[in-house]
Every structure is written in C-alpha cells, then in structure tokens.
Amino acid sequence: MASDSRRGNPAVYAAVLALIGLMLGPVLYIIVGGFRTNSQITTDPAGLPDPWQFGNYTDVLASSVFWRQVGNSTIAAGVTTAGVVTLGVMASYVLARYRFRGRGALYALFAAGLMFPITVAITPLYILIKNLGLVNTLPGVILPQIAFGLPTTIIILVPFLRAIPREIEEAAAIDRCSRLGFFWRMVLPLSVPGLITTGILAFINSWNSYLLPLFILNDQDSFTLPLGVQAFTSQYSVDTAKVLAFTSLSMIPALVFFSLFERRIVGGLTGAVKG
C-alpha cells in the first residue's frame, strides 16, 4: 500500500499546492488584512502588511461587544449541541434497536427533515417564536436549532448504533441488564465517536448560523457572532482593516473545533454514506 508508484509525482503536488492556494487565499486575505492599516489597504488592496499593525486585533479583543457576542454564540452552540446529541442518540437508539410498528414511518419523518433546511420554515417559525415570547432570547434560537439538527444527527447515528453487535446486547440481557441499562452502560460508551461527529457538526452549524438569528435576534445585546460581524461591517464600513480583524477572530473557534476533530467527522460521514 505504502509503495504506491505515484507517490512522488511532482505534477500531482503542483496541482495540490495550487489548489490549497485557491482554497486558503480568501481566508489568508482576511487574517493578514487585519494586520494592515486602511491606507495600506486602499493604496494596494492585495499587498502584505508593511509595517504590521496589531492595533486592529487588540482593539477588537478589548471590546466588550465582541466578547458578549462570543459568549452568546458559545451558549447557543453549546446548548444546541448538547440538546441535539442527547435527543438524537435517544431517538436513534429506538430506531436502531427496537422493532415496533411505525418504526419505518418514524425514520422517514426525520429523514424527510433532511430535505428541508430552515429556510422553508423561517417565516412561520419566527411567528411561533414570537408567540412563545422568545424573540431576542437565546432559547428562541436554540430550540429550533435542536429541532432542525435532529435529522442529520439521526441519519448518522442510526447506522452507528445498529452496527453494535447483537451478541453484546444478548450478553447484557443474560447478565440481567435491562434495555435501558444496556443503552446507558454499553451503547453510549460505544457510540462516543458518532456522538462526537454529530456534536461537532451541530456546534459548527450553530456557530455559523445566520438566517435564524437574523429573524429572532433584533436586539444588539442578544446578537451572536455572525450577526455581530454583519453589524460591525456596516457600522465600520470605512474601517476595512478592523472589519477584517473582527471577522478573522470570529472564525477561529469553528476552525479549531474542526481541525481537532476532522478525522471523526470524515469517519462519521463514511459510516453514514455506507449505511
């Protein structure tokens, strides 16, 4: 396997390098641009910082607005993740390991949810949230996010849980372990990789989500980072450098989370595609 004859092909490496440049160029532009001054950006929009300015970043890091938005985003993403994973694994366990009338219909119900991202439901959803009195509150964002995160989670977890060998369940039953005990003591520990995959996906989705907060959160104090970035962009539209600094700081958490767990995500998707 390791002795693939094509491993050293320079053309392949050149193609890959060009590709990486294309993929990362805009990202680097944001990060590096934050180290420039506005006059540097105006005179040469594509140049490098000369000299490097750290003021934009330190200004953003010193602002309470930025940290409040980080806090809001963290709470929203954290609670959403916990909710999606908890509810998702419980429902997936039922779908994967119980036999009952209507199981296929239940699975189809959640699978159908995959077809309809939040866009379709956003207008009536806003009215529902308004009637519940949750406008401008984080729960108003978190509850719908949990609901809309369930389809992906269940689709990924069901094959995962189904793959746990019957023999383990039988052995547990012989040891007088109830189905719920089996779920708690065997299924949950065994499905940690799947839980991490779905958890990361839910976290990143929530961290990046725009449309739902745009409808639900109108009050500056309740803004999450994506709304904050947009508000900041229009507020400081002449201060491009600061906008770039704000933007690059706000994408760090999702990037860190993703790079830490990239293998898990790819592994989880492999399972889902196979299932």
Question: Of 65, 75, 82, 87, which lies in the binding site for another protein, with binding defined by CB under 8 A?
Answer: 87
**Residues 198/88, Cβ–Cβ less than 8 Å:** yes
Q: Does 187 bind another protein (CB under 8 A)?
A: no
Site for another protein in 21-60 (CB under 8 A): 22-24, 26-27, 29-30, 33, 42, 44-46
Q: Does 95 bind another protein (CB under 8 A)?
A: yes
Range in contact with another protein (rule: CB under 8 A) among 53-61, 63-71, 188-196, 246-254:
246-254
**Min dist. Cβ of residue 208 to another protein (A):** 4
Range in contact with another protein (rule: CB under 8 A) among 55-63, 74-82, 108-116, 188-196:
108-116
Site string for another protein, 120-159 (x = CB under 8 A): xxxxxxxxx-x------------xx-xxx-x---x---x-
Of 39 and 166, CB closest to another protein: 166
Question: Of 18, 133, 211, 235, which lies in the binding site for another protein, with binding defined by CB under 8 A?
Answer: 211
